[in-house]
Amino acid sequence: MKWMAFWCAALLVAAAHGQMIFEGDGSNEPGFVPPPVKPKQPPPPPAQIASGESFIPYPGPPVVPQARSEKKKPPQPPVMFTKIRSDRGTIDWAARPNDLNNLLKALKEMINAHFSMDVKSFGEISEDPERNPILYRTGHFHFFLNNGERQKLRRYLLNGGMIIFNPGMGSKPFYDSARRELAAVFPEIPIQRLASDHPIFHSYYDLDQIEYRRGVREAGYHGTEPWLEGVTINCRTVAVVSRWGMDIGWDAVDDDTLLGFTIESALKLGVNLLMYVVTH
């Protein structure tokens, strides 16, 4: 496993210096936003201790059975989000590793919704949406699906699933790739910007207007409507592409120069996306 650690470290250093991590990754294109140099790692889950009467397996002073604390695994909430990993290292697909973790915490606090997440490669994803209701792919670089993955994603979405594409910190090469891949998955259906009266923007919070960071204005966008695009089939939007970063609102970064929604607006968008899936 040492070679894998070395490879990931090399990718991280290359990205930090604006170098490409693979041929055609988009790191030299306009609108590319490099990932954090040293992304923080998610904290380990707290150990769950339950007091239970049991006997130590050897006599000890005094020679009386003693109680000990035993670790007990808490019941796992149902999986709602599945984060898609790639084979190019976490710098490619988990530059902000706590985005979904923090969104799930916010969902619990904001609407008392208890869900969990998991991480899978594209090959591990089930075509049955019951097993992975919402797929989430984020990143800063270009990405590419092969024909088999495109067909699998098509079947999954037609079966009732949903996929969300988020450009890390608003990085345009990832956004362009998401649009390109969805056009290949559904060549017969155009990707369109969702109007402000779309149910996604009203499934829980009313988000006709939304707040962006200053960096979005400096990048040339001055609107106040939420910028999400999607593929809609039979009145149900099955795929969503955000133009600006939601990750920096979920795994909160207090930097107004970044290309994304404000923290509050990003969290509300996350709640609405969940509620849209649940109700559609």
Which domains does the chain carry? 79-279 (3.40.50.12140)
Q: How confident is the model at residue 55 (pLDDT cuts 50, 70, 90)?
A: very low
Q: Measured between alpha carbons, how far is 217 from 214 in angstroms, rounded to an integer? A: 5
Q: Measured between alpha carbons, how far is 102 from 267 in angstroms, rounded to an integer? A: 9
| Helical ranges in the chain per DSSP H | 2-16, 90-93, 99-111, 147-158, 172-185, 214-218, 247-250, 263-279
Going by C-alpha positions, the residue among 165, 179, 162 that lies closest to residue 275 is 162
Q: Measured between alpha carbons, how far is 203 from 277 in angstroms, rounded to an integer? A: 9
In the predicted model, is pLDDT for residue 51 greater than 80?
A: no
Q: What is the pLDDT of residue 37?
A: 72
Complete DSSP assignment for 98-127: THHHHHHHHHHHHH----EEEEEEGGG--S
For residue 235, give every residue at least 6 positions away whose Cβ sits within 8 Å of its Cβ, in sequence order, or none: none
Q: What is the pLDDT of residue 21?
A: 83
Q: What is the pLDDT of residue 60?
A: 47
**pLDDT tens across 139-177, in order?**
999 999 999 999 999 999 999 999 999 999 999 999 999
**pLDDT tens across 207-260, in order?**
999 999 999 999 999 999 999 999 999 999 999 999 999 999 999 999 999 999
